[in-house]
Structure formats: C-alpha cells, structure tokens
C-alpha cells in the first residue's frame, strides 16, 4: 500500500512538475519570441538610420518592398522603390541628418509586422546657421517577402 501511494503521488508530482515546466517554457518562449521580434525590428531600424545618415537614399529604398508606400505628412503618397529613393534623396539633400528611430511597440500577425515608434533628426540649418531638431511618430508595416526577408510595405510618419 505504501508503494502504490508513493507511485501515485510520484506520478501526480511528475505531472504537476511537467505542467509547471510546460507553462514556464511557453512563457519563456513567448518572451524570447517577443525579444527576437523586437531585436529584428531594431536591427532594421539601425540599417535604415545608417543608410539615411550616410546619405545613401538607394540603400534606404532597398529596405522597402518594390510596391511599398511612404505617407509623409501633408504630401501625396510616395509609391514604389524608385519613388521612395527619390523622396528620401530629396530629404537628405535638404539637409536632414542624424536620424534615429525608437521602437515603442511591435506586433506580428502571419507575414506582417507592425511597428510604432518615435523618430528624430536634425533639420537643415536656417539662415543664421542654426539647426533645429525635428521629431515625430512613426508607424511601419513590414511584410515577409518570398525570399524570407522582411521589407517595409507601408511607412507613415508625422
């Protein structure tokens, strides 16, 4: 009788321990997934900032899908990689530098990732030679491409 009770108790203990381990594992893997997702978006932001800050509008445009759309404040939508390259060449040419994106939140559903955040840059010098900081909010939708890479599909900022 003692052996059968101990076996039952041991089996129940094992099931309980397994359940706790499973829940902890799922919680950890969810956290790891969120961390990985956030890290991937932040790495993409770093590439974007580096390309922009080096004055390479072509490299910026390569981070977008061929049929992507940029929605700048108070302007018409900019469509496609070629249009996006031309748009950012104009922004860079106007004297904007030191761009930095800060991620606030990232969510994923299937082949789409949505990032919200803040951006800041130094604007062009005024007539007196002073530069003014520019900043705002950003939303980007990233889409997984057929080759497995992620590219921006929609980019809106204010």
Q: What is the DSSP letter of 89?
A: H
User: Please, which residues bridge with residue 152 across strands?
Assistant: 64, 142
What predicted TM-score, i.e. pTM, was given to this entire model?
0.75
Residues 120-144: pLDDT tens digits? 999 998 889 899 999 999 999 999 9
Domain 29-157, what fold?
Nuclear Transport Factor 2; Chain: A, (3.10.450)
Question: Whole-angstrom Cα distance, residue 66 to residue 79?
Answer: 9
Question: Whole-angstrom Cα distance, residue 69 to residue 71?
Answer: 6
- Mean pLDDT (the chain) is 82
Question: Whole-angstrom Cα distance, residue 88 to residue 61?
Answer: 8
Helix (H) or strand (E) holding 23: helix 2-53
**Over pLDDT 70: what percentage of the chain?**
78
């Amino acid at each position: 009788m003692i052996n059968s009770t101990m076996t039952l108790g041991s089996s129940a203990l094992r099931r309980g321990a397994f359940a706790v381990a499973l829940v902890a594992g799922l919680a950890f893997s969810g956290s790891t997934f969120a961390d990985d997702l956030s890290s991937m978006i932040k790495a993409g932001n770093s590439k974007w900032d580096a390309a922009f800050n080096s004055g390479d509008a072509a490299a910026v445009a390569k981070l977008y899908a061929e049929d992507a759309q940029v929605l700048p404040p108070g302007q018409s939508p900019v469509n496609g990689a070629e249009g996006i390259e031309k748009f950012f060449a104009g922004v860079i040419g106007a004297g904007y530098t030191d761009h930095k994106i800060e991620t606030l939140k990232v969510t994923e559903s299937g082949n789409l990732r949505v990032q919200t955040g803040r951006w800041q840059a130094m604007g062009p010098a005024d007539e007196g030679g002073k530069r003014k900081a520019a900043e705002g909010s950003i939303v980007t939708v990233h889409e997984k491409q057929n080759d497995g890479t992620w590219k921006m599909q929609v980019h809106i900022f204010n």
